[in-house]
Amino acid sequence: MDLENKNKDHKSKLGNFKLPKLPIKLPKPPPPPTHLGDVELPKTLMYLLPVGGLFTLAFVGAIAAFVITAWWGQPIPVLGFEQTFDQPINFPHTVHASTKQLDYKDADGNTMMGLGTDCTFCHRTVNKTTAAGANAYIPPVNFCANCHGVIGTEDNSQLNILRDAAGIIGEDGTSPINWRRVHRLPDHVRFVHEPHIRYLSANPEHIKGETDGVSTGPSAVCSTCHGNVASMEKVYQVEPLKMRQCVDCHRDNEAPTDCATCHH
Amino acid sequence: MTTDIEKFGTRNWGMIADLDKCTGCQACVIACQAENNIPINTQDRVERARSISWIRVERYWEGDFPDTKARFIPVMCQHCENAPCEPVCPVYASYHNSEGLNVQVYNRCVGTRYCANACPYIVRFFNYWDPVWPESLRNHLNPDVTIRSRGIMEKCSFCIQRINRTSREAKSEGRELEDGEIQTACSAACGTHGIVFGDFNDPNSRVSKLRNHKRAFTLLEQFGTDPNVIYLAKVDPNRNNSEEGHH
């Protein structure tokens, strides 16, 4: 039996089955309700119902966009999802860490230069091996007040929040400053700054990113993950800081990629 | 490029538990609960046999009345070389790393509980509920240890957070790890220094020397799991010689 006959034979076995003709006619949707009990609904509702559907679609889309943004953790400034927060005090990293000329003017009206402070001057525990070294902590208020008890004008409202919290002005016992956390790692990660700073300080060729701040010491290596913080008025997360980024960098630098290195 | 095993697999962590020194005081149990963020075992959890304790002190009786003696044996994850829990895990949440540790990766675990069924030592625990602590213990948790959520397995990790931290400190100071520098929570808490932790690959470490002690034995040796926890048998001056080696 040749192929053509075989196909014919096969076709005959299908019997009387017929494919439905396209386009398939769908049942008509029920008309929109005109009465609610005895009350007659306004006719405009009929036209508003499909518009409501569009709104629902837009709402779901917005939620989906939010979830996707949150999942990737990528700052998307164009959509307004930039991860910049208003902190209790508008702390400018530019003034403290940058080494460049700034837009700020001091009390005498002269343009200011950045101070060029090393990151570890304030974030003291970041390169310590102790348990506290896991986090680059925000310094205590009194540490800020050591300088700002004197430095800065007396009518500077932002500095007065700090002086109030430090007990220099106002009453004692005011509440602490609730800084908002900017950089967040995914759950289940035990990240410690110290070995990363130690390695990158010893191998500066692996540093990624540039900084406006001092280019030596621990400050130079921070830009690899934190971006150019010295140029930021408000700090935001530059890198996605997801596991893929960690593992890529660990592979490039022959660091351990055992699960238990970070997950325990 | 060197692999992880070539570069970092220079250690084989193990533990010696000397039963002659064990008084059954449960200090290791408490220390472990505190160190590893283990939820509190309330009465209803214990009654339903769903309590979690990474290390437990088993009590058993030896001898016939009136010469009965209480014997204690601390049981934690044995970190077996041929671990029965590892091949049964469908998502590789339980695996053996290059340092001889049987590691449980919490974020991989999907909660099949196969590993707990495979384990002959009953040292794997399932989180049937989200862990809760009373308000007074709000700030007591160890920040170096993940809090395990509902639906995943957990077990003794040989205090891997302490291993990592001490290794990091030694590396930062540019020196080699010393024997006895790393202490697990249970070995640090043991009042009689009955639990010793160390590196089996270091021939001069205390655990390597004690491993070949004539009193050394492992739990459920007949299963061939080759545990990394070695026990030293109880010395009993009154014991009949014919009963020697019976455990």
Across B170-180, average pLDDT: 88
Q: How many CB atoms lie within 10 A of CB B97?
A: 21
Domain residue limits, chain A: 43-79, 93-138+182-262, 140-178
**Is the Cα torsion angle A4, A6, A7, A9 positive or negative in sign?**
positive
The model's confidence at residue B73, banded by pLDDT at 50, 70 and 90, is very high
What is the helix (H) or strand (E) element at residue B18, kind and residue range? strand B13-18
Mean per-residue pLDDT, B7-36: 89
User: What is the topology classification, in CATH, of domain B14-236?
Assistant: Alpha-Beta Plaits (3.30.70)
Can you give the pLDDT at residue B2?
A: 45
For the stretch B23-70, pLDDT in tens is 999 999 999 999 999 999 999 999 999 999 999 999 999 888 888 888
Give yes or no for B165 touching A (CB within 8 A). Answer: yes
In the three-class reduction of DSSP (H, G, I as helix; E, B as strand; rest coil), residue A112 is classed as strand
Identify which has the larger pLDDT, B61 or A81. B61
d(CA B59, CA B62): 10
Residue A51 has pLDDT above 90, yes or no: no
Q: Is the pLDDT of residue A206 over 90?
A: no
Residue B4 binned pLDDT confidence (cut-offs 50, 70, 90): very low
Cross-chain Cβ contact B146/A264 below 8 Å: yes
- Interface probe for A, chosen from B110, B153, B160 (most Cβ of A below 10 Å), is B160
Cβ neighbours for B239, distance < 8 A, ≥ 6 positions apart: none
Could you tell me the CA-to-CA distances from A133 to A10, A104, A199, B120 in Å, in that order? 75, 33, 15, 39
Dist CA B140 CA B143 (whole Å): 9
CB contact under 8 A, B171 and A195: yes
Which residues share a beta bridge with B70?
B61
Q: B126 is written with which tokens?
A: 């399932």
Report CB contact under 8 Å: B169, A129: yes
- pTM across the whole model: 0.78
Q: Which two tokens stand for residue A94?
A: 């530019």
Q: In chain A, whose CA is at the least distance from the CA of B6?
A: A256
Query: Mean pLDDT across chain A, nearest whole number?
Result: 79
Out of A188, A195, A256, the one facing B8 most closely (by C-beta) is A256
pLDDT in tens, A137-182: 788 888 888 988 888 888 888 888 888 888 888 776 667 788 888 8
Pairwise CA distance, residues B241 & B219, whole Å: 21
CA distances from B66 to A23, A79, A232, A258, B69 (A): 93, 81, 79, 54, 9
Beta bridge partners of B2: none
pLDDT grade, residue A132 (50/70/90)?
Answer: low
ipTM value for the complex: 0.82
pLDDT digits (tens, 9 = 90+) for A250-264: 999 989 899 999 998
Query: Is A131 within 8 Å of A190 (Cβ atoms)?
Result: no
User: Using CB atoms, which residue from A187, A198, A254 is nearest to B172?
Assistant: A198
Which residue does chain B place closest to A133, by CA atoms?
Answer: B165
Residue B220 has pLDDT above 90, yes or no: yes
Q: How far is CA A68 from CA A73, A82, B245, in A?
A: 8, 13, 62
Report CB contact under 8 Å: A195, B143. Answer: no
Q: What is the pLDDT of residue B16?
A: 96
Contact flag B97-A260 (C-beta cutoff 8 Å): yes
Helix, strand, coil percentages (3-state) for chain A, rounded to 5, are 45, 5, 50
ω before A23 within 30° of 0 (cis)?
Answer: yes
More confident residue, B98 or B88: B88
Closest residue on chain A to B154 (Cα): A264
Q: A207: which 2 tokens?
A: 């540093």
Using a CB–CB cut-off of 8 Å, the residues of A that contact B are: 129, 131, 134, 187-188, 190, 192, 194-195, 198, 254, 256-261, 263-264
B166 touches chain A (CB under 8 A): no
Average pLDDT rounded to a whole number, residues B209-230: 93
Confidence of residue A45 (pLDDT cuts 50, 70, 90): low
- pLDDT range class, residue B189, cuts 50, 70, 90: very high
| Chain B partners within 8 Å of A129 (Cβ) | 165, 168-169, 172-173
Q: Are B229 and B42 in contact (CB under 8 A)?
A: no
Query: What's the mean pLDDT in B151-176?
Result: 91
In chain A, count H helices and then E strands. Answer: 10, 4
